[in-house]
Amino acid sequence: MLQENSKENRIVAPSLLAANFFTLSTEIAKVHDTSAQWIHLDVMDGHFVPNLTFGPKIIQDLRPQTDRFLDSHLMVSNPDFLIPLMAEAGVDAITIHSEAVIHLHRSIQTIKALGKLAGVSIVPSTPVSALSEILSFVDIVLVMTVNPGFGGQSLIESASDKIKSLDAIRIKMGYNFRISVDGGVNSSTAPSLWKKGADILVTGSSFFSDPDPRSFTSFLLSC
């Protein structure tokens, strides 16, 4: 029988992808006005996904502006060269896609050796079974519930069912990874995502388009 994780351990991570990049200070102030504990940073290369965002320079400039945990999500074809640059820029966690690397174990060990939390992510078409050999080594499993590249898409229900499988595996095997869910998270989808076993909810467009992000975040943390 699967159990919902305790509410006290829930994390909400607003994704800067949905923020206005020209007024980032104001957008970060919005996050600071809420109880969201993490800031999610989507790094895209126009190759692994059909979109471009930002890289280490902006993150390095952001680092002294916030005490929030910086959760980076690398949607790039060759994350290995970027891992040390992201660490140097000051992120706290680095998540890479299992679909993007050949030597996933080596890349995860590199992230850990740099003192950062190491995460692995899967796109909606990748099954949980693809992660069987890496789950014991990672701190975060990021389940993409939309096809990566853009904010504002609707959550793919079948992809969210992977949360349940991952939760069952970690209970059975005694693994310590946290389950993060990314894509289409809003006040309607959040309750069932927590119920399925999510620990972290990433929210982009729903957070930044809400006139009251503080109440929105409180709702997510308590629903």
The question of whether 161 is a catalytic residue gets the answer no
Closer to ligand 5SP by Cβ: residue 107 or 186? 186
The minimum distance between CB 33 and Co ion, in angstroms, equals: 22
- Buried b / exposed e over 157-194, threshold 16 CB at 10 Å, is eebbebbbbbbebbeeeeeebbbbbbbbbbeebbeebb
The question of whether 71 is a catalytic residue gets the answer no
Q: Judged by CB under 5 A, which of 42, 45, 199, 210 binds Co ion?
A: 42
Distance CA 87, CA 11 (A): 22
Report if residue 18 touches ligand 5SP, rule: CB under 6 A: yes
Numbered residues of the known binding site for substrate: 15, 73, 149-152, 182-184, 204-205
Q: Judged by CB under 6 A, which of 5, 77, 205, 218 binds ligand 5SP?
A: 205
Distance CA 4, CA 14 (A): 22
Of 31-39, 47-55, 154-162, 174-182, the window that binds Co ion (rule: CB under 5 A) is 174-182
Q: Judged by CB under 6 A, which of 40, 68, 97, 196 binds ligand 5SP?
A: 40
Question: Pick from Co ion, ligand 5SP, none: which does 185 bind, CB < 5 to 8 A by kind?
Answer: ligand 5SP
Burial class (CB in 10 A: 0-12, 13-18, 19+), 132: exposed
3-class state of residue 201 by DSSP: strand
Q: Using alpha carbons, list the distances in angstroms from residue 63 to 17, 24, 79, 222.
A: 16, 12, 20, 28
Q: Are 35 and 61 in contact (CB under 8 A)?
A: no
Report if residue 119 touches ligand 5SP, rule: CB under 6 A: no
Q: Which of 45, 167, 182, 210 is catalytic?
A: 182
Q: Applying CB under 6 A, which residues contact ligand 5SP? A: 15, 17-18, 40, 42, 73, 75, 146, 148-149, 151-153, 182-185, 202-206
